[in-house]
Structure 1
């Protein structure tokens, strides 16, 4: 969900707390209709950046522009905030009914009662909550309370909505249902959004651009598929689930293929590098294939290794298979595939992966990647 002009531009943003720098963002932008996710571990600065972008935390320095107009004066900040909606981890609801909570932002804006009622009921219908309009906010479940908080934010028809871990306290079924509804509503209303989350599945599901943060800095930014498949350094690779992050030495490079040594094994990777260079190479577990007979003559994969199964760990809808190929390797398989192949710890198998399925992180990029 992207398109339209740039709504918000921020440059040279820094924020200090207790004398320590907690944010350092050279540049940030958000377009109309864009859904952007900020992901990273706890303490990475996601919520702090979100609050700074909403002008709810004063920045030590930085330039803010909304649709090209600089936000400097108190009146400009006030006008900018009126264009935003905000939803936090914990629903912050007033005493009174669901209707009253959803109407609160509209009352502050001085809307007429008839217009308020029409807007509130339309928004409640959007969230499937019309039957809860007169229920006390104190008698809502966690999911209903967060729905009310979201409905209140959308009722003012914001141009951008800031979401700070809105699903973190919800049980999985409620989280999934609310995420389905939020995705639909963002699409239908064309509202831009910035979502702070540590859950990469939420980010993949909802966003058109993903920003990885660490220690108050933006480490990588791009389409979710690019960030997940082509991390710029080891930190990003580990955080986005690239469980196979290995170090090898380049022995040759040419024709778009790099050959590395890893112990006594050699791995072929699509790309280019300098002979003698030490580089990281990353393989997503879902790109590793396991066979019980040698597939060398029948597969297009350039990397085939005899391996032993060291551990089989159930992990939700799939199992995590830890392999010893002369180097450690992790693969994902469904329970049905494990049963069909009669796999078990200690069994010998063959592991394979394509040269194009491997992402190479050259030594020059390993400590960089700031965006």
Structure 2
């Protein structure tokens, strides 16, 4: 709590043994504060941390049962192997056990060739591998990781995330992991806790967080660009007709007529067709006549803004943009399936 404003509010969850639980959220959401509290570095103004069914009152004993990896590797001015070994030495392991564990984790993380290198000569990716090896070789009951790859370039980050997923699968290590990166979270997590403004908005499997976000805020954070308010005007045995800004959208659901809802639709689930196209082979029930208002190139894709009455965003490959000769002001059909839509209640839910 800072200036009497809570940084975290009503946070309550359990990390199961052998689980990788990822704390996902935007910058400033309270993720790192929560991790530092779990590490015993910060004391909560209320509530408690329970470790293996016992409150973590003995800070020294508790910290010996956890290890940490931070965004900065925090290496000593020493060799790679001595950096990995330092925690084991501090805990009083024998020389033989230290040598065995250090070699094992240098092999697993592909840094054996760096054993005698000084820490200051390492690249960012190499230094973080050393930091990971130092944490894993302690074989603690819980590892806490706070955005360990956020300062690395994209290829190095993806390589390390992939290797870390393999290590988790191989060791069954319990981990509480903080990131703001959705791709990273989906790769690593058994479950994801989405934290926004100090509150957990959703705690669920990685798949459900991605495909079935629990709130509009979660939906937007996980890449659902289209979160459109609407009103159910008909329910025909589970096939809903929803009116939104003059557009008629069909979706699957069990909301009653008159219900206010949010229509959640990922941009990659929208296909663009020429305004005159008749695609009888398509099973998509939604075909909205739309006007292109913006085209923003993003690498191999174009993010296209549409005015269909309702405002939509779609993601189209750059070759498709060139092939269709799409331009701002063009009239097109925005086509999407009823099954691509995830509905959320807006205000009081009527079912």
Question: TM bucket by the smaller chain?
Answer: over 0.9
SS in 1 for 2:41: coil
Distance 1:229 1:82, change over 3 A: same
2:287 equivalent to 1:304: yes
Residues 1:209 and 2:191 aligned together: yes
Please give the alpha-carbon distance, in whole angstroms, between the structure 2 residues aligned to 1:365 and 1:41.
27
- Distance in structure 2 (CA, Å) of the matches to 1:123 and 1:196: 22
Deviation for aligned residue 1:264 = 2.4
1-structure distance, mates of 2:165, 2:131: 16
Pairwise CA distance, 1:125: 0.9
Cα deviation digits, residues 293-320 of structure 1 (max 9, x gap) = 4345332111111222222212234221
Deviation at 1:26, TM superposition (A): 4.6
Q: Does 1:73 align with 2:78?
A: no
State the match for 2:327 in structure 1: 344
Q: How big is the shift at 1:322?
A: 1.6
Change (3 A) 1:19 1:327: closer
* 1:200 alignment partner in structure 2: 182
Q: CA deviation at 1:254?
A: 3.6
Paired residues in the alignment total 348
- The structural deviation recorded for 1:274 is 3.1
1:62 match: secondary structure: coil
Q: Distance in 1 between matches of 2:124 and 2:194?
A: 28
Counterpart residue number, 2:43: 58
Give the alignment's TM-score, normalised by structure 2.
Answer: 0.93
Alpha-carbon deviation of 1:27?
A: 2.0
CA shift for structure 1 position 82: 1.8
Shift in alpha-carbon separation, 1:263–1:61, aligned structure 2, 3 A: closer
Match of 1:146 among 118, 125, 128: 128
Aligned residue runs from structure 1 range 1-371, under 5 A: 16-68=1-53, 70-74=54-58, 77-292=59-274, 293-295=276-278, 297-364=280-347
Q: Which structure 1 residue ranges, 5 or more long, are not aligned?
A: 1-15, 367-371
Please list the CA deviations of residues 84-141 of structure 1 after superposition, one character each: whole Å capped at 9, or x if unmatched.
2211111111111111110011001111112211211111111100111111111111
1:259 and 1:269 in contact (8 A); partners too: yes
Residue 160 of structure 1, CA deviation: 1.9
Tell me which protein shows more strand as a share of its residues.
1
SS of the aligned residue for 2:134 comes to helix
CA distance in 1: counterparts of 2:134 and 2:186, whole angstroms: 25
Checking the alignment, whether the CA contact within 8 Å between 2:272 and 2:335 is kept in structure 1 is yes
d(CA) in 2 for partners of 1:175, 1:73? 36
In 1, distance between residues paired with 2:8 and 2:343? Answer: 29
**Does the residue aligned with 1:21 lie in a helix, a strand or coil?**
coil
- CA separation in 2, counterparts of 1:107 and 1:39? 34
**Residue deviations 1:149-177, cap 9 Å, x none?**
11111110122211101111111121112
Distance 1:208 1:295, change over 3 A: farther
Quick one: distance in 2 between partners of 1:114 and 1:303? 67
Structure 2: segments with no counterpart, 5+ residues: none
Distance 1:233 1:179 in 2: 27
* Residues 254, 272 of structure 1: 8 Å contact kept: no
1:66-95 Cα deviation digits (max 9, x unpaired): 232x12432xx4333222221111111111
d(CA) in 2 for partners of 1:316, 1:199 = 18
